[in-house]
């Protein structure tokens, strides 16, 4: 009986720690990358590879609103994406008509 309890406790600890690690990845904003054809939506998070692969945009030249502190405009997959630099959280999307 003691062996069964020990095995059940160990399994619960392993499963619980895997869930915590997954939640931490999602909160960090640098979790899964979407790939080259992904169309972004407000509230999504850009993965670090997607962020680095997207081209930084001069908001004045493209007639976009000035980004708040800590945010940047990036061009990705025919979209202008306004996202937080620290987390990749997307605040706004503008379609790129000149694609």
The full set of domain ranges for the chain reads: 2-95
Q: What is the pLDDT of residue 24?
A: 45
Q: Are 90 and 40 in contact (CB under 8 A)?
A: yes
What architecture does CATH give domain 2-95? Roll (3.10)
Q: What is the pLDDT of residue 29?
A: 46
For residue 41, what are the CA distances in angstroms to 4, 8, 27, 46, 77?
A: 47, 41, 17, 10, 12
6-48 residue pLDDT tens: 656 666 656 654 444 444 444 454 555 666 678 899 999 999 9
72-87 residue pLDDT tens: 999 998 899 999 999 9
């Amino acid at each position: 009986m003691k062996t069964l309890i020990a095995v059940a406790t160990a399994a619960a600890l392993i499963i619980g720690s895997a869930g915590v690690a997954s939640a931490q990845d999602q909160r960090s904003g640098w979790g899964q990358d979407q790939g080259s054809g992904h169309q972004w939506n407000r509230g999504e998070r850009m993965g670090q590879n997607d962020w680095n692969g997207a081209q930084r945009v001069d908001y004045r030249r493209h007639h976009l609103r000035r980004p708040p502190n800590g945010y940047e405009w990036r061009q990705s997959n025919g979209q202008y994406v306004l996202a937080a630099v620290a987390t990749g959280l997307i605040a706004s999307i503008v379609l790129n008509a000149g694609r």
